[in-house]
Structure 1
């Protein structure tokens, strides 16, 4: 990959990350100003807006944000319609558990690492590397589901929302960073971009 291609890829990745985090950040801000129901409406609108932007930027529909946005629409819609914040609080538990089950089930039942078709464009790993990475992410999604359960059942709505930005998101970044040695070790083909 040339320097220009690498820079363009880095810029696109930055925009894609902003599109993934933007709806959550707007939810956080709107909730702090106008409450959970307005915040949830903003979350739904921002999620719906970010998907076509992501499609235009990356040239494909993003699988995980697409599933997440579907559940934001369903559970956010139920939250607003029934005036019950429990639904939006359950959404991260259900989505993370679903991702964990799909990834783990792919390994156990299909004997396939289902992260490969999703991230195969970005990462070139050996089959063993894909299996290990998929297993780790599967287990981590269950950790995120458990964290969400503890936070929404044990703390105030404001603390639960803050935990999305200041606990779950940093945990995910740290976990992703900790996978770099595995990516280096199992990189397949040309020189690894991880050094």
Structure 2
């Protein structure tokens, strides 16, 4: 496991945030390139799909494997983004975060029920926690994913499309980073190295 290939943190961040940033900027500035006002979200969705596939391809080329969470997210982007473009209905791309986050939440809870904390599979190269630590951390992330799904539903149903697009970039990402940092005390408390020393 120690010799497993990993992306440099900065490149990993670029591959994860790049497509989302392009989605935001495309939606904001598409009219400057001759895209009609009412077509901005569709142009941005097309760019989002292409950028997501490219980012996943780069990740695979460097690691020779596909990370689980980005892969699932990319599949949903392609399917729901494709439906958005095919049917010319922005509802589908707006539902994508709800579906992805709900799916992650359910998968994590199902894993806990069968005593398989799937979060450990995704993050085991980053942390070494006790069984109880993985269980608690997994449950917290599952609840957080459900919260993100609920927030997405509230925002897209009550706000403009432009606000929703901005919130995806400047709202969801800071919330996720803040939540991840908030888990530091739990991670330190259940670190296997600390428990072994004790």
C-alpha distance in 2 between matches for 1:105 and 1:88: 26
Counterpart for residue 108 of structure 2: 103
Kindly indicate whether residue 136 of structure 2 is the aligned counterpart of residue 132 of structure 1.
yes
Kindly indicate whether residue 40 of structure 2 is the aligned counterpart of residue 44 of structure 1.
no
3-state SS of paired residue (2:8): helix
Structure possessing the higher relative contact order (Cα contacts under 8 Å, 6 or more residues apart): 2
What do the CA deviations read for 1:5-62 (whole angstroms, capped 9, x no partner)?
9xx97x7011111100100000000111221001000000000000121223444311
5 Å-filtered alignment, 1:27-38, equals 27-34=23-30, 35-38=40-43
Kindly indicate whether residue 10 of structure 2 is the aligned counterpart of residue 14 of structure 1.
yes
5 Å-filtered alignment, 1:175-194, equals 175-189=179-193
Which residues of structure 2 form unaligned runs of 5+? 31-39
> TM-score under structure 1 normalisation?
0.89
5 Å-filtered alignment, 1:18-167, equals 18-34=14-30, 35-108=40-113, 110-167=114-171
C-alpha distance in 2 between matches for 1:58 and 1:134: 25
3-state SS of paired residue (1:125): coil
What do the CA deviations read for 1:134-186 (whole angstroms, capped 9, x no partner)?
00000000000011001100000000001101111110000001011111111
Which of structure 1's runs of 4+ aligned residues deviate more than 2 A?
Answer: 55-60
Contact 1:28 1:162 (C-alpha < 8 Å) held by counterparts: yes
Contact 1:27 1:43 (C-alpha < 8 Å) held by counterparts: yes
Tell me how far 1:190 sits from its aligned partner: 7.7
> TM-score under structure 2 normalisation?
0.88
Which residues of structure 1 form unaligned runs of 5+? none
C-alpha distance in 2 between matches for 1:98 and 1:88: 16
